[in-house]
């Protein structure tokens, strides 16, 4: 697993890299960051089309800006953990389609299908798991937590741990399918 770095460590690394970069590379980084900011503003709904956000960008830096924007938009296409994430995901799809054109028009529907399939699969497993819990704990669970013995409480905790493993495995499988699609759109 990767090392978690503090904001200070990241800033120091960037500063060190900046000292080694040429003027051209520094300028490119600046415009890539601008693209990331434009994508974030687009995702927040500050402008309706991504094209609108590109006004004022010098033509020679458009590709660099789009590279940064693409990175942010793809990062926001994630497995939906709840319904509220869909708004951001759909905005990211819209932005990617504007930037990548026909390539995205082919891949985005596949991505959306995969994300909906993930949601459905997770729901189905969750329902099955809840039924298992109800049948294994039985009628005492209906009396509330106070009516449960310590053994039943331990069993419930172990079932929660098991659900966490199952949902993590499902997520991992779907992430593996989503990753090449995102890579293709970079």
> How would you write the pLDDT of the chain (186 residues) with one tens digit per residue?
456 767 767 766 766 665 666 788 788 889 999 999 999 999 999 998 988 888 889 999 999 999 999 999 999 999 999 999 999 999 999 999 999 999 999 999 999 999 999 999 999 999 988 888 777 766 454 545 555 677 767 777 788 888 899 999 999 999 999 999 999 999
User: H-type helices in the chain, by residue range?
Assistant: 7-20, 23-43, 50-53, 62-75, 86-100, 102-137, 150-185
Q: What is the pTM of this model?
A: 0.77
For residue 186, CA distances in Å to 70, 107, 173, 180, 183 come to 7, 12, 21, 10, 5
CA distance 93 to 129: 32
**pLDDT for the residue 138:** 62
Tell me how far apart the alpha carbons of residues 85 and 81 are, in angstroms, rounded to a whole number.
Answer: 7
Q: How far apart are CA 65 and CA 63, in angstroms?
A: 5
Domain count, the chain: 2
Answer yes or no: do 111 and 185 share one domain.
Answer: yes
Is residue 92 one of the residues assigned to a domain?
A: no
**Cα 99 to Cα 122: distance, rounded to the nearest angstrom:** 31
Asked if the structure places residue 96 within a domain, the reply is no
Select from 55, 75, 95 the last residue of a domain.
75
124 and 53 housed in the same domain: no
Measured N-to-C along each axis, helices 62-75 and 150-185 cross at an angle, to the nearest 10 degrees, of 160
- The answer to whether residue 93 sits within a structural domain is no
Residue 26 lies in a domain: yes
CA dist., res. 63 & res. 24, Å (int): 14
Q: Which residue range(s) make up the domain with 143?
A: 107-186
The pLDDT assigned to 91 comes to 96
Distance CA 95, CA 69 (A): 9
Q: Considering only the C-alpha atoms of the chain, give the largest distance between any 2 of them, rounded to a whole number of Å.
A: 71
**pLDDT for position 174:** 96
**Which residues, 6+ apart, have CB-to-CB distance to 117 below 8 Å?**
174
């Amino acid at each position: 697993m990767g090392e978690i770095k503090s904001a200070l460590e990241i800033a120091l690394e960037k500063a060190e890299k900046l000292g080694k970069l040429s003027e051209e590379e520094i300028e490119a980084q600046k415009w890539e960051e601008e693209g990331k900011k434009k994508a974030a503003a687009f995702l927040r709904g500050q402008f309706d089309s991504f094209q609108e956000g590109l006004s004022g960008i010098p033509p020679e830096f458009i590709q660099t800006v789009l590279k940064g924007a693409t990175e942010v938009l793809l990062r926001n296409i994630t497995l939906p953990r709840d319904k509220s994430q869909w708004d951001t995901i759909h905005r990211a799809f819209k932005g990617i389609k504007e930037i990548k054109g026909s390539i995205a028009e082919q891949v985005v529907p596949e991505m959306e299908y995969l994300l909906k399939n993930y949601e459905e699969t997770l729901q189905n497993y969750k329902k099955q798991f809840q039924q298992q819990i109800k049948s294994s704990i039985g009628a005492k669970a209906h009396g509330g937590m106070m009516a449960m013995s310590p053994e039943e409480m331990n069993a419930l905790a172990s079932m929660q741990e098991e659900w966490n493993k199952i949902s993590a495995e499902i997520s991992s499988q779907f992430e593996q399918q989503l990753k090449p699609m995102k890579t293709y759109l970079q």
